[in-house]
Amino acid sequence: MFESFKARAETSGNTEVKRFETTAQALGFIEAFIAQEEIKDEAGSYAVWADSSILKALDKNAMVAKFPGLHFDVTRELAKGAKIGITQLQWGLAETGSMAQDSTDVEQRLASALCWIHVAILPTSKIIADIPAFMTKMHPKDIKFMTLITGASKTADIERVLAIGVHGPERLVIVCVDDLELEGVAS
């Protein structure tokens, strides 16, 4: 399922998919990515990280000391000035290379939509076949705001000229983690 998901996601444009066996490896990649993108404590260079279960494996204080522009309390102002937004997604859809996110918490929406680069963390075990399979997993009574993300933001609604990053991130980095499990998400 992963290979199909990766192929579809990467053909959606400005999207790269990485896979790691362990949470520690994935967090190491994200840390190196933040360093490479030169995150600092000034507007346009922030990184915001929305609350997620993977954060239990991270020393947030050490990360903030190393990267003063990294914020774990996501506000509208910080997200608006963020170069990178990091969120954890619940499902991947192999047929389309899309991901599904419970966006009921506004922090999830801000961190995934207002930044220039969205780093999406996805448990590899939660990659499923397609939308019909997803609909058997999602419970509308439990989720008030669901977002489907397919690639970086793009539009061609103005004179059919393709524009990237107009309505959301211009780049999407999907970090699939083999040993990551989500709390409260059915298999």
pLDDT of 183: 52
pLDDT at 166: 46
Q: Do 182 and 126 form a contact (C-beta atoms < 8 A)?
A: yes
Q: What is the CATH number of domain 2-177?
A: 3.40.50
Angle at 52 between CA 49 and CA 58, to 5 degrees: 75
Name the phi and psi angles at 23, rounded to 5: -60, -40
For the question of whether the overall pTM of this predicted structure is more than 0.95, the answer is: no
Q: Say whether pLDDT at 114 is over 90.
A: no
The DSSP line for 77-120 is HHHHTEEEEEEE-SEEETTTTEEEEE--SHHHHHHHHSSSEEEE
Tokens describing residue 112 = 């995934």
pLDDT bucket at 149, cuts 50 / 70 / 90 = confident
DSSP designation for 146: E
pLDDT tens per residue across span 55-107:
999 999 999 999 999 999 999 999 989 999 999 999 999 999 999 988 888 99
For the chain, the domains span 2-177
Q: What percent of the chain has pLDDT over 70?
A: 87
Integer CA distances (angstroms), 177 to 54, 86, 166, in order: 10, 14, 29
Instruction: Please provide residue 78's backbone torsions phi and psi, each rounded to the nearest 5 degrees.
Output: -65, -45
Number of CB atoms found within 10 A of residue 105's CB: 16
Indicate whether 156 pLDDT > 50.
no
CB 33 within 8 A of CB 119: yes
Please give the Cα distance from 140 to 150 (Å, whole number). 21
CB 82 within 8 A of CB 117: no
